[in-house]
Amino acid sequence: MADNAHAAAADHAAEGTGLVFHPMDQFKVQPLFGGTDVSWYTPTNAMLWLALTVLAVFLIMVVGTRGRAVIPSRGQSIGELAYGFVHKMIEDVTGKDALVYFPYIMTLFMFILMNNFLGLIPTSFANTAQIAVTAVLAFAVFFAVTIIGFVKHGSHFLGLFWVTSAPLAIRPVLAVIEVISYFVRPVSHSIRLAGNITAGHAVMKVFAAFAGLVALSPLAILGITAMYGLEMLVAFIQAYVFTILTCVYLKDALHPSH
């Protein structure tokens, strides 16, 4: 991998004055302390930004609320806002019986939100743009939902695929479609998040490359600024969407008969 990096750097040097597009370089996982090998325990930039994400969550949710004031300070308000936001989302979308899973959903939301925002810091590393990361998150949700469904309802959970409100003749067809859509869920769930973050960051990088041309640089800066604003929105909305889809899938598991 590091060889690639060196090669890329050489490319940079060689192409020098012209337009250089390396929009995907920012997603490279590299060891923090030199070396070339990325084994499973190597401290990498991915690890660094995951750690910073945990730290950010810790700062907001624990340090911010250390006052435990009845009249909240600003920091405490942020933590309470996040708490109330997810709590209400679960109540509205899934129902009160899903509040057992509140800590896990809150973990997903805070983790993705913080990671998305930290990924927007220039030169940082966006973990949520990595398909490996979002796939783990999405498959964890997928397996959790499936297991909860079978544990709670046994074979009745399969009724999710047998649409009783449809005419009998087309039910098998619908069942096939439902099964396929059920198994596509984790794929779309993970690719949506990774794709959105990747797309935003890549577009900003492309704009940044245009800044190399003097004539285009004001436009490039304008474009980056606009994209950055949009990406702030996307960072929040994707965390929200990931969480709310988790709630929707969980609702299917808890109340399969629609």
Partner 1 sequence: MEGSIAEMGKFIGAGLSAFGMGLAAIGVGNVAGNFLAGALRNPSAAGGQTATLFIGIAFAEALGIFSFLVALLLMFAV
Partner 2 sequence: MATESHGAEAVAAGHAAAESAGMPQLAVETFGNQIFWLLVALVATYLILSRVALPRIAAVLAERQGTITNDIAAAEELKLKAKEAEAAYEKALADARSQANEIVEATRAEIKADLDAALEKADAEIAAKAAESEKAIAEIRANAAESAAEVAKDTAKELIAALGGEVDGRSVTAAVNARMKG
Report d(CA 180, CA 138) in Å as an integer.
Answer: 16
* CA distances to 96, 175, 200, 214 from 166, in Å: 29, 11, 41, 62
220 contact choice in partner 1, partner 2, none (CB below 5 to 8 Å, kind-dependent)? none
CA nearest to 138, candidates 102, 188, 90: 188
Report d(CA 49, CA 55) in Å as an integer.
Answer: 9
Least Å distance, CB 165 to partner 2, is 33
CA nearest to 252, candidates 140, 142, 134: 142
Where along the sequence are the contacts to partner 2 (CB under 8 A)?
1, 4, 7, 24-25, 27-29, 37-42, 44, 46-47, 50-51, 53-54, 57-58, 61-62, 65, 68-70, 72, 76, 79-80, 83-84, 102-104, 106-107, 110-111, 127, 129-133, 135-137, 139-140, 143, 194, 198
69 contact choice in partner 1, partner 2, none (CB below 5 to 8 Å, kind-dependent)? partner 2
Least Å distance, CB 255 to partner 1, is 16
224 contact choice in partner 1, partner 2, none (CB below 5 to 8 Å, kind-dependent)? none
Q: Could you give phi then psi for residue 161, rounded to 5 degrees?
A: -95, -15
Per DSSP, the three-state class of 44 is strand
93 contact choice in partner 1, partner 2, none (CB below 5 to 8 Å, kind-dependent)? partner 1
Among 10, 92, 103, 136, interactor with partner 1 by CB under 8 A: 92
CA nearest to 65, candidates 83, 53, 85: 83
Interacting residues toward partner 1 by CB under 8 A:
24, 89, 92-93, 188, 191-192, 195-196, 198-199, 202, 237, 240-241, 244-245, 248
